[in-house]
Amino acid sequence: MVLQFFTIDVFFYLIVGLLFFFIIGILPVVGSIQGLAILLPLVYKLDPPQAFALMIGGASGMWLSDAACSILLKIPGSSPTVPLTFDGFQLTRRGLHGYALGAATSATILGGIISGIITYGIMSVLLLLLMFLGPAEITIIIAWGLIASIILLIGKEKIKELLSAIIGLLLSTVGFAETAHIARFTFGFYDLWDGIPLSVFFLAMLGLPEFLGFLVRREEFIVDIKYLTYVGGFRTREFYKKFIEGFKEIFRSIRIFVQAIITGLIFGIIPGVGTTAASLLAYAQSGLLTKRKEKLGEGNVDGVIGPQSAIISCWFGDFIPTISFGIPGSAAKALFLGLFMMKGLMPGPHILKQVDLVNYILLLVVIGVLLGSILIIPLLPVITRIVTIRITSWVPILLGIIFIAVYSDRSSLFDLFLLFILTLLGYSLNKYGFSTPMVAIGFVLGGILEQNVALTYQIYGLSFLYKPTSLILIIILVAVTIVSLRMLRRKQIIAMGEEDD
Amino acid sequence: MPGSKAKEIGLLTIITIFIKVFFVSEGKVGRRDFLKYLSTGIGGLVVGGVLGYLTSSYTITTTPVTEVKTTITQTVKPARYFEGKTIELVVPYSAGGGYDLATRSLANYIPKYVKGATPVVINRPGGQALLGPAYVWSSKPDGLTVCLANAYGNAYLSLTKEYNQPFTIFDFLPLGRITWGQEVAVVAKNSPIKTVEDFKKLGRNVKIGATGLGAESGIPALMTFSLLNIPFEMVLGFSGSGEVIASLMRGEVDVYVVDEDTAYQNMMAGSVRPILTVAAQRIKQFGDVPALGELVTKEQLRLVELHDNIDKLGRLLIAHPKTPSEVYDAWQDLLKDIFVDADFIEEQEKIRSFKPALGDKMKQLIKEIKPSLSEFKEALKKVYPEL
């Protein structure tokens, strides 16, 4: 029975893990991988159920605190929560941070429950996807995601925003190209052989330029003067009213939620694609399916619900190839693989026959996600106070934390230099009307696209387009895009009609 | 750590300037002020960087380095040299992987045998696992900064045309090896390929999956299929072994040459089947799987044996080449105790099979490998000119 694993000490380690990962999540830049790496050497002496509770259960609970960092500060708590900085932060600027956090909380809690049920119910079916979705299919999906994102996010300055995406694509080519066996744009620095580190890139493009802009324009985070008066007298009741409003929004965006769950699960199962790509793709899908008035990127809450749901379902999906074949779906799951083997568990199809153990792990993930979210809710009013404090008071401390986090990732002073240079680039792009979210999308999706295009071409040549799975995917994606664009266009016409009235 | 104080000064300068500026100015930062403070910050970094370069030894290849004087006497246990000292153990990969776990396990046991020694693990990933050795290369040659290097991977990488570091793995002082392993060619479990001969019957190029040419899965695969005279093409660019194995299972690639531990784990997981050991002799745990050495000529066997020797470099603990001999002896004394500790062995076995060797044996191995490296490279370039 599964319940035999849940002893008092297991709950103790679960709570310790949740508290630890809450701190990891709220810190900018530092993500699950760093937290797991700190804990891994400490679990040598623990029994397997205790070790799993500490690490798997604990890490599962950090996604809401991660989201809070991205929504409140526009600094990604970790790479997958980057899309939350686009619309989540715009909501914060309008004083609707409670509303955004409510939406993120419902996406996390409901996403955890639904993903847990799906993973438990149809794990062997989901595994089959691993057999059908290879580099060719990923190429089509990512290419579609890139084009869809550009179409959706492109605003008035079409040329500049298109150029922004191209700049992102160019930046993604920095590094050592295995297929051509040459180093590109590394200028002789071995530190760049693995490309620009994601944490450095997102800070430089999204977070720091925004701060610098505030300081130069002498602005505060929150533009709505009504909410600025909360300094020194933060009203908890007002916060929770908005929080509950945001929590209920998921029921108005069920299609987006379901689409994001499916996207996350699929991307989680396929090794090498990553949660960041899943959340960006879900963001693009939210833009296509949203029925709300606001455009994506202008404070549309669907831009929070979609990506956060995809992150949670991807977290579940990652476990499937890790447990079933010992193929980690992501870097964090590679650490879990190390944990399994340290505890004498050899992943493989035979593990699926140990029903109690598999159920225990899945239940831990669900409990971790739920408990981690529920435990943070009372702390949110305290955490969100940060946006009501004068920016000049806490930015220097935040900068110090960022510098230390960036330096400690690879123990490299070069990363700080890179952060500096890229921040100047990000600030300049912002100042002259280019779109740094577009740069980020081009960078993330461009890197994965190039890798998969190279693999697809080496394996199939151009005949990948005639593969049955490729053809089916192309037809589905084109159909979805046409229908969604027509709906979007109809919505725009109705909106224009209302304005004329 | 060379230049560390200077780097810290640079960092603190920037943080202090920012704090002082924004507290003092209380947010009244205009465009000119912003440029002023930005340039002050850059100045702080430059000062820190210059101080860092002055106090470090980056250009070690031509600049003679001051010998580090030690005070070890013959009557004192050599490992006591580390008492009261901080030992930096550099890992050339991100935290949490096999190298990181092995290094942290080693770090846990150092204080057990040397009281007062403080091991610190530093992750220095990147540059295809070259940044770790580069860090040691540029450190003070006092034997207190060491790296658990992917020695065989670095050795293969140094054979490729893009390699332009001022060192190779053979230039370092080997302190000891934690483990090593050979490569095994695996196919998907339900692949129609049952023997090596079946590759020739395919009637097309065999598709070999690999993360990269300079990786452990690249050059051994090149060598194997060229020696066997089987036409092949490399499919490069996978992110890791998991992706290659998934691709194998989908039938996109035909074969993957991978380290024996990964091959064994995936064989037990039911995803792959071993078809050939890329070595002169068979590996016991793979039973009847033939070895490459059985299928090649006597002349070609030399190359296979050289490859085996490179594999034996394994995960090698390396120190700066100018480390004093007394410090080397201290390391040997320490590792001799740790490598026979039952708890340490048990921990290492959970990560990967523990196959230790001390420094003298590794020095002898490197002495055997070095003269034949260029011959190995030329033989590979004939088959794969892009190398």
Using one digit for the tens of pLDDT, what is the confidence trace for A135-186?
A: 999 899 888 888 887 877 777 777 888 899 999 999 999 998 877 778 889 8
Interface test with A, best of B13, B19, B46, B344 (most A CBs within 10 A): B19
Interface test with B, best of A126, A172, A178, A448 (most B CBs within 10 A): A178
Closest chain B residue to A342, measured at CA: B350
- B154 and B213 fall within a common domain: no
Is A175 within 8 Å of A194 (Cβ atoms)?
Answer: yes
pLDDT in tens, chain B (387 residues): 334 455 555 565 666 565 555 544 444 555 666 666 666 666 666 665 665 555 443 333 333 333 444 444 445 688 889 999 999 999 998 777 789 889 988 999 999 999 899 999 998 888 788 889 999 999 999 999 999 999 998 998 888 877 777 889 999 999 999 999 999 999 999 999 999 999 999 889 999 999 887 777 888 998 999 999 999 999 998 888 888 988 998 999 999 999 998 898 888 878 899 999 999 999 988 989 999 999 999 888 988 999 999 999 999 999 999 999 999 999 999 999 999 999 999 888 888 889 999 999 999 999 999 888 888 888 888 777 766
- B209 and B174 fall within a common domain: no
Q: Point out the residue among B27, B238, B247 whose CB comes nearest to the CB of A392.
A: B27
> What is the spatial distance between Cα A109 and Cα A416, in angstroms, rounded to a whole number?
36
**B382 located within any domain:** no
- B286 and B327 fall within a common domain: no
Phi, psi of A481 (to 5 degrees): -65, -45
Q: Point out the residue among A130, A325, A411 whose CB comes nearest to the CB of B123.
A: A411
pTM value? Answer: 0.80
Q: Point out the residue among A132, A190, A271 whose CB comes nearest to the CB of B131.
A: A190
**B363 located within any domain:** yes
**B60 located within any domain:** no
Q: What is the CATH number of the domain that holds B192?
A: 3.40.190.10
Is A191 within 8 Å of B131 (Cβ atoms)?
Answer: yes
- B212 and B295 fall within a common domain: yes
Q: What is the pLDDT of residue A482?
A: 81
> What is the spatial distance between Cα B204 and Cα A317, in angstroms, rounded to a whole number?
36
- B45 and B30 fall within a common domain: yes
Q: Count the domains in chain B.
A: 3
- B125 and B243 fall within a common domain: no
**B235 located within any domain:** yes
Looking at chain A, the number of H-run helices and the number of E-run strands are 24, 2
Is A270 within 8 Å of A138 (Cβ atoms)?
Answer: yes
Is B216 within 8 Å of B183 (Cβ atoms)?
Answer: yes
> What is the spatial distance between Cα A272 and Cα A30, in angstroms, rounded to a whole number?
20
List, as one string, the DSSP characters of A345-408: ---SGGGGG-HHHHHHHHHHHHHHHHHHHHHHGGGHHHHHGGGGS-HHHHHHHHHHHHHHHHHH
- B218 and B147 fall within a common domain: no
CB pair distance less than 8 Å for A326 and B271: yes
- Please enumerate, as own/partner, the contacts of A462-466 that have beta carbons within 8 Å and a separation of 24 or more: A464/A136, A464/A139
A440 and chain B: CB distance < 8 Å anywhere?
no
A327 and chain B: CB distance < 8 Å anywhere?
yes
- B280 and B327 fall within a common domain: no
Q: Is the dihedral of CA B103, B106, B111, B113 positive or negative?
A: negative
Q: What is the CATH number of the domain that holds B371?
A: 3.40.190.150
**Domain final residue pick, B310, B328, B353:** B310
- B285 and B262 fall within a common domain: yes
Q: What is the pLDDT of residue B70?
A: 44
**Domain final residue pick, B310, B340, B363:** B310
Which string of b and e fits A441-472 if b means at least 16 CB within 10 Å? bbbbbbbbbbbbbbbbbbbbeeebeebeebee
**B192 located within any domain:** yes
Mean pLDDT of chain A: 83
Q: Point out the residue among B207, B242, B243 whose CB comes nearest to the CB of A459.
A: B207
Q: For residue B305, which of B227, B360, B233, B357 has the smallest C-alpha distance?
A: B227
**B224 located within any domain:** yes
Is B274 within 8 Å of B284 (Cβ atoms)?
Answer: no
- B156 and B211 fall within a common domain: no
- B208 and B292 fall within a common domain: yes
CB pair distance less than 8 Å for A178 and B29: no
Pairing state between β B206-210 and B232-236: parallel
**Domain final residue pick, B283, B310, B337:** B310
**B27 located within any domain:** yes
Closest chain B residue to A274, measured at CA: B239
Segments of chain A with pLDDT less than 70? 1-4, 29, 41, 219-235, 329, 346, 348-353, 388, 491, 495, 498-501
> What is the spatial distance between Cα A354 and Cα A362, in angstroms, rounded to a whole number?
13
**ipTM reported for the complex, 2 dp:** 0.79
Q: Which residues of B touch A459 (CB under 8 A)?
A: 207, 235, 247, 252-253
- B271 and B230 fall within a common domain: yes
Helices assigned H by DSSP within B251-313: 260-268, 298-311
| Nearest CA-CA distance, residue B49 and chain A, Å | 9
Q: Point out the residue among B164, B212, B347 whose CB comes nearest to the CB of A178.
A: B212
B36 and chain A: CB distance < 8 Å anywhere?
no
Q: Is A92 left (phi over 0), alpha (psi -120 to 50) or beta?
A: alpha
| Nearest CA-CA distance, residue A394 and chain B, Å | 9
Is A280 within 8 Å of A145 (Cβ atoms)?
Answer: yes
B114 and chain A: CB distance < 8 Å anywhere?
no
Residues 330-369 of B with CB under 8 A from A: 347, 350-351
> What is the spatial distance between Cα A20 and Cα A7, in angstroms, rounded to a whole number?
20
Phi, psi of A499 (to 5 degrees): -65, -45
- Residue B87: give the domain boundaries: 78-179+314-377
Q: Whose structure tokens read 């830049």?
A: A29
Is B218 within 8 Å of B236 (Cβ atoms)?
Answer: yes
**B61 located within any domain:** no
> What is the spatial distance between Cα B181 and Cα B125, in angstroms, rounded to a whole number?
22
